[in-house]
Structure 1
């Protein structure tokens, strides 16, 4: 998505994807002050600003509003500046961790090296938190999607799993076994329902052999199906859960994994997620990964990893990436 620009001047636009914002400035030398258009990321609209006095000052801050005053972001991020008129490596600010940002003076980075001409300012948000209305520790806005187990019925259902109450099926994983309930599995997955409805060995022996999943990942799958998965458990096992969701036809789990994987694409996981997106037919995740690599220029930071990726990735996926590269060069 792009920030709006009433003046139709691309020098003020900030491009964003999931947790990354990138501001491209075509010519800085003629200005003493420049502020970006507002750009949405998380719950807030943001601004980047540059001010030239004795040194160049770079600022990042949320747009002032009643919402920001009542719910200021607590941000963790890495910010980089790349100058096209310089041979030096990108300037990288030390990582900011859990800093409260309310005004345009809460994050100011004085840059003591001369920068002119074309710049790219790159902000990667690692986390965004808000204070809980009930007090206590700040909560990540990207953890709010996890299920809240408030219903007595759901609590009882999770107890059936946790305490092994009248389990009637055993799941054998690659490194252990766990008990479950046929009715719950069949209600959540048509594949399991078929297993238990026909004269298959799962029905006769009261066991399911799932050799391609670990015990921990299987427990995470069951916790999701029973409505008692914790957010950190979901995040840790997302890729295994995505495989299971595809294999056992659990569309809500597949969509939950898809939505979660879209939120924190970065240089460490983008190539792996791109392959998962192609394998499990997740077009939005694939498009966002390709956009992160090509439009945001991150492919140049992953030279060694990308060469390895080319050796093992699907040929159609590689062709699609190179088509995007060619299109980007034509538009440059």
Structure 2
């Protein structure tokens, strides 16, 4: 049997194992695949029923800090009309070994099928006994060495200490500091360096941003944005990064949008890839739709997308579909 029979394809939060053929009584275990900090395995065992298991590879990391996982598992028939079975969502389950998640499927499956695991969250136990922490939120925490300086900078913003510029958002105003804005954005620096309205009147009009989004934008520039706030406003922050030429914010948004592509957001994100030239996100969205077969799960939304999307973007998707069909 070829090595591909054991290979699991992945995105940062999705794993798919394609089973080409399974004898009436057999056991098969996948190659390891990495999601989050851990290497994982899937296994199938077929006797009277089909048992599907998901478990991390045994290691010191698994023993000392096992994953606390939230996920959805589906088994999808890859022939005909692609019928699927879905296990109820697993929420915050500690998984240490191959007996911690077992799904017994009594519906007979013949021919090719796909085991699809969508990881909704992965957490680790807090070292001080507090609430478990999501590993996907760690990238937005600040290092200890910068903590005091960032705290002081944030205090300047939140308490309005010596603010010298007023930002007029669409539904409110907020004070900020020219020096901080100019240091973070060449567009703002140019505004304050020339005799423009922003310099003369000490105001900036940002009518395409709500006060809530503007606050999130400033919180990012001052280094005090929280992960939840970033996730809530990241598409608007991407627009602001493009408008004010803030490359680190653009990259932070791009990397974050790559991490949680799903059926509810993939088409919207695909549209944004053309607007902001996000090549990695574009290829990840197309791969998610085509290689992982999600295009079949959102047929109505995809038809609407075809009627409104950029023609070049639609062509790229169809080229990927044609290449995928060649592989069958």
Q: TM-score, normalised by structure 1?
A: 0.95
- Answering whether residue 260 of structure 2 is matched by residue 242 of structure 1, we say no
Contact 1:28 1:119 in 2 (8 A): no
Give deviations 1:7-55, integer Å, cap 9, x for gaps.
8521111000120100001001255111111111111111111112332
2:270 to 265, 271, 274: 274
| 2:191 alignment partner in structure 1 | 195
SS at match of 1:59: strand
**CA-based RMSD:** 1.4
| 2:219 alignment partner in structure 1 | 223
- Answering whether residue 258 of structure 2 is matched by residue 258 of structure 1, we say no
How many angstroms apart in 1 are the aligned matches of 2:77 and 2:303?
Answer: 26
Name the stretch that deviates more: 302-311 or 264-273.
302-311
How many angstroms apart in 2 are the aligned matches of 1:74 and 1:54?
Answer: 31
2:6 to 12, 30, 40: 12
How many angstroms apart in 1 are the aligned matches of 2:255 and 2:81?
Answer: 39
- Answering whether residue 286 of structure 2 is matched by residue 295 of structure 1, we say no
Contact 1:85 1:116 in 2 (8 A): no
Contact 1:149 1:227 in 2 (8 A): no
| 1:97 alignment partner in structure 2 | 91
Closer, same or farther in 2 for the Cα pair 1:182/1:48, shift >3 Å? same
SS at match of 1:212: coil
SS at match of 1:144: helix
| 1:4 alignment partner in structure 2 | none
How many angstroms apart in 2 are the aligned matches of 1:153 and 1:264?
Answer: 31
| 2:124 alignment partner in structure 1 | 130
What is the CA distance between 1:314 and its match in structure 2? 1.2
Contact 1:21 1:124 in 2 (8 A): yes
- Answering whether residue 101 of structure 2 is matched by residue 112 of structure 1, we say no
What is the CA distance between 1:279 and its match in structure 2? 1.0
SS at match of 1:58: strand
Contact 1:29 1:117 in 2 (8 A): no
SS at match of 2:119: strand
What is the CA distance between 1:134 and its match in structure 2? 2.2
- Answering whether residue 309 of structure 2 is matched by residue 313 of structure 1, we say yes
What is the CA distance between 1:114 and its match in structure 2? 1.3
Closer, same or farther in 2 for the Cα pair 1:85/1:286, shift >3 Å? closer
1:72 to 66, 87, 92: 66
| 1:3 alignment partner in structure 2 | none
Closer, same or farther in 2 for the Cα pair 1:269/1:185, shift >3 Å? same
Closer, same or farther in 2 for the Cα pair 1:279/1:233, shift >3 Å? same
- Answering whether residue 225 of structure 2 is matched by residue 213 of structure 1, we say no
How many residue pairs get aligned? The number is 326
SS at match of 1:148: coil
SS at match of 1:164: coil
| 1:29 alignment partner in structure 2 | 23
| 1:139 alignment partner in structure 2 | 133
How many angstroms apart in 2 are the aligned matches of 1:239 and 1:85?
Answer: 37
SS at match of 2:140: coil
SS at match of 1:50: strand
How many angstroms apart in 2 are the aligned matches of 1:93 and 1:189?
Answer: 48
SS at match of 1:109: strand
Closer, same or farther in 2 for the Cα pair 1:328/1:153, shift >3 Å? same
Contact 1:147 1:229 in 2 (8 A): no
Contact 2:168 2:203 in 1 (8 A): yes
Name the stretch that deviates more: 112-121 or 11-20.
112-121
How many angstroms apart in 1 are the aligned matches of 2:270 and 2:82?
Answer: 30
What is the CA distance between 1:89 and its match in structure 2? 2.9
